[in-house]
Amino acid sequence: MTNVIVAAVLFVLGIGTLGAAIFGKLRTRRLILLAVTGILWIIAAIIFVGFGTSPMTDLTAAATETPTLTPEPEPSPTAQSSPTPAPTATATVASTALSGRLVFASQRSGNFDIWDMDLETEDFSQLTRDTANDVEPVYSPDGTMVAFSSSRDVSGGINEIWVMNADGSDQRKLVDWPDSYEWGATWSPDNEWIIFTTTKDFNYEIYAVPVDDSADPINISQAESLESYPDWSPDGRWLAFVSDRGGNWDIWKLDIEACLQARLSEADEESDQESNAEEACEATKLTDNEDDDFFPRWSPDSSQIAFESRRFANRDIYVMDADGGNPTRLTDDVARDSTPIWALDGAAIIFSSERKYDWNMYILYLDSGEEEQLTNFEGEDRFGDWKP
């Protein structure tokens, strides 16, 4: 919605400068004003279409002032995807009746807070009530807790990782780094660790921290490239994430079991065990496309990954096998579709979409390809997560 308003304002300003260029008396001034008109209209067109921002820019513009570092894309001839929707998810369930709970970030309270929705009764509950912005809620695997990113208690719109009970009680900060941004939390399957992205080292790095604060945060990625939006596979073996190490944003994965153990040994000064962290944390590239891929999310059986991609000059939801094979486009709408999550035990995908000029939550049933709008609010509803 914001990009439409900004584009409209720039277009109107362009009309004003065009009028001044047409009726001005000084030729030099007319030429300058004419050039300004062209620049304003070009910027307005870019903002309206949405080509000028990335999913990370969307998040930070909505909830914080996080700096966005976007590398120039590098063309690649591989990993081409289907131009039409063709859901091929392997996970199946006995019924696809809408059920469970959806936690998401919403502006319905005036700024971004965390809300919870019972999908069967359509009852809403507000979990956070802070004047700062709370975004990106993620349920713990056992459904008892929620991690989220918040700009409370810090200045300049900086976000940090917080955790709370699933009913909104006992909200506490997970890490206290007031000079860096933290976002994109994911839980370990045993509920004991949270992995997230931080700018603590003046880069986008992926860190792990125990939920009970029993150990210091550990830098998992330790890369010169930008690494962000990790997701821990339900089987505990893999960590999917996005990186620009190939020239643009692609999806990678690493063996998180081996990598975390190696990083812990590396940090243990009293350990006599030789660290093999560089080898243990070696990552495998899953997508190789000239357009950016974001927000990887593992299926419940760890056999597939849903993700958001800017292929075909638009943001849509895709799915691929765990090894990067069979990339398939699931949504094909002129509006931007973003931040997919798995629901109904793998039978559906919930995502955010800017259809009807506003961000709301939608669900896509993979067996039928049918879509259903879940929220309908004049303000943004985004960044969801589902539990049974």
Task: Identify the residue with better confidence: 158 or 39.
Answer: 158
Arithmetic mean of pLDDT, 66-94: 37
Residue 88 located in a structural domain: no
Question: Residue 18 pLDDT more than 60?
Answer: no
- Claim to verify: residue 41 and residue 118 sit in the same structural domain: no
- CB half-sphere exposure, 26, CA atoms < 13 A: 4
Q: Supply the pLDDT for residue 206.
A: 98
Arithmetic mean of pLDDT, 53-65: 45
Q: Supply the pLDDT for residue 46.
A: 55
Q: Supply the pLDDT for residue 54.
A: 45
CA 293 to each of CA 63, 194, 362: distance values in angstroms, whole numbers, following the listed order: 21, 23, 20
Instruction: State the residue range of the domain holding 30.
Output: 2-52
Q: Supply the pLDDT for residue 93.
A: 38
Q: Supply the pLDDT for residue 74.
A: 32
Confidence of residue 356 (pLDDT cuts 50, 70, 90): confident
Percent of the chain with pLDDT over 90: 66
Q: Supply the pLDDT for residue 24.
A: 52
Of 30, 52, 74, which residue sits at a domain end?
52
* Alpha-carbon gap, residue 343 to 297, rounded angstroms: 11
Residues 6+ apart with CB under 8 A from 168: 114, 116, 125, 126, 127, 128
Confidence of residue 20 (pLDDT cuts 50, 70, 90): low
- Claim to verify: residue 195 and residue 316 sit in the same structural domain: yes
Residue 339 located in a structural domain: yes
Question: Residue 226 pLDDT more than 60?
Answer: yes
Q: What is the pLDDT of residues 242-265, one digit of tens each?
A: 999 988 999 999 999 999 999 999
Q: Domain count for the chain, please give it.
A: 2
Of 49-58, 108-117, 231-240, 342-351, give the lowest mean pLDDT range: 49-58
Mean pLDDT score of the chain: 83
Question: Residue 72 pLDDT more than 80?
Answer: no
Task: Identify the residue with better confidence: 62 or 386.
Answer: 386
Backbone conformation region of residue 297, classed left if phi is above 0, alpha if psi is from -120 to 50, else beta:
beta
Q: Which of 245, 386, 227 is nearest to 306 (CA)?
A: 386
- Claim to verify: residue 339 and residue 197 sit in the same structural domain: yes
Q: What is the pLDDT of residues 200-212, one digit of tens each?
A: 999 999 999 999 9
Residue 90 located in a structural domain: no
- Claim to verify: residue 147 and residue 283 sit in the same structural domain: yes
* Alpha-carbon gap, residue 173 to 178, rounded angstroms: 11
CA 126 to each of CA 63, 105, 107, 115, 345: distance values in angstroms, whole numbers, following the listed order: 17, 10, 11, 4, 25
CA 373 to each of CA 314, 346, 351, 362: distance values in angstroms, whole numbers, following the listed order: 20, 18, 10, 4
- Claim to verify: residue 42 and residue 108 sit in the same structural domain: no
- Claim to verify: residue 31 and residue 139 sit in the same structural domain: no
Question: Residue 140 pLDDT more than 60?
Answer: yes
Question: Residue 350 pLDDT more than 60?
Answer: yes
Question: Residue 43 pLDDT more than 90?
Answer: no
Question: Residue 218 pLDDT more than 90?
Answer: yes
Give the bridge partners for 342, in sequence order. Answer: 349
Residue 162 located in a structural domain: yes
Q: Supply the pLDDT for residue 196.
A: 98
- Claim to verify: residue 234 and residue 306 sit in the same structural domain: yes
Q: What is the pLDDT of residues 174-201, one digit of tens each?
A: 999 999 999 999 999 999 999 999 999 9
Residues 6+ apart with CB under 8 A from 214: none
Q: Supply the pLDDT for residue 331.
A: 97
What would the DSSP string read from start to end of 89-123? Answer: -----S-----SEEEEEESTTSS-EEEEEETTTTE
Task: Identify the residue with better confidence: 229 or 153.
Answer: 229
Arithmetic mean of pLDDT, 127-141: 97
- Claim to verify: residue 152 and residue 297 sit in the same structural domain: yes
Confidence of residue 51 (pLDDT cuts 50, 70, 90): very low
Question: Residue 78 pLDDT more than 80?
Answer: no
User: For residue 379, what is the domain's CATH number?
Assistant: 2.120.10.30
